[in-house]
Amino acid sequence: MRAHVCAVTKRWRASRRKDKYYRRAKEEDYRSRAAYKLKQLDWKYDIMSPGDTVVDLGASPGGWSQVALEQVGDQGRVFALDIDRLPSLEGVTFIRGDVRRKEVIAKLQDQLPDGADVVLSDMSPNISGNYSYDHARSIDLCECALEFASKILRDGGHIVVKMFYGDMSGGFISSARRRFQEVHVTHPEASRPTSSEVYVVGLGFRGRR
């Protein structure tokens, strides 16, 4: 069994080294290949603008926060939240904690009395190998991100949420459509072709109801 695990790990590492986005991330000093997913989503849907305030959920190791910093510029602000530590990233305000906890939301709201323009969530459950279970846990994280966004976004704000697609996806997409003027479901090029992940992009938050 141990030999099998080692073989799988070696194949995964070899595959990663061949991945063009992994190589680009190393060359361009991004903390993860996921940075290119957000770049592609932002180019397609114009999610972030100079001067925006962005909140990045599940931010570690920081690839999305790096892209957000680039997009909002010196006049913008980026807040990163995660239950894990985030290595220091100049220009990003890090809050460690679970986004489902009231005290974590309150701590952020204290620093953002006027709310945020964009909420990003690349949160993912720890993969168990049981797709139905992993899909259900992914939907739970999506719903947490949507509820969080509903508390923190300004009217007209945007959200990006990663989701493992499956039979529960329709319910979440319907919930997002009740809260945003436009909702798009997309699979960016930087996502691996074999991955079931998609990104739900909500544009034009309708406001707290």
- pLDDT, one tens digit per residue, over 27-66 is 877 889 999 999 999 999 999 999 999 999 999 999 999 9
Mean pLDDT across 6-34:
67
Tokens of 5: 């695990």
Strand order of the β-sheet with 77-82 is 92-96, 77-82, 53-57, 116-121, 153-164, 197-205, 180-186
Q: How confident is the model at residue 26 (pLDDT cuts 50, 70, 90)?
A: confident
Q: What is the reported pLDDT for 2?
A: 47
Q: What is the reported pLDDT for 24?
A: 85
What is this structure's pTM? 0.89
Mean pLDDT across 188-209:
90
Tokens of 14: 């070899």
Q: Which helix (H) or strand (E) holds 55?
A: strand 53-57
The answer to whether 124 touches 141, Cβ cutoff 8 Å, is yes
Judge whether 162 counts as a catalytic residue: yes
Q: Which of 10, 18, 39, 162 is catalytic?
A: 162
For the domain bounded by 32-205, which CATH number is listed? 3.40.50.150
> 123: which residues sit within 8 A by CB, 6+ positions away?
57, 58, 141, 144, 145, 162
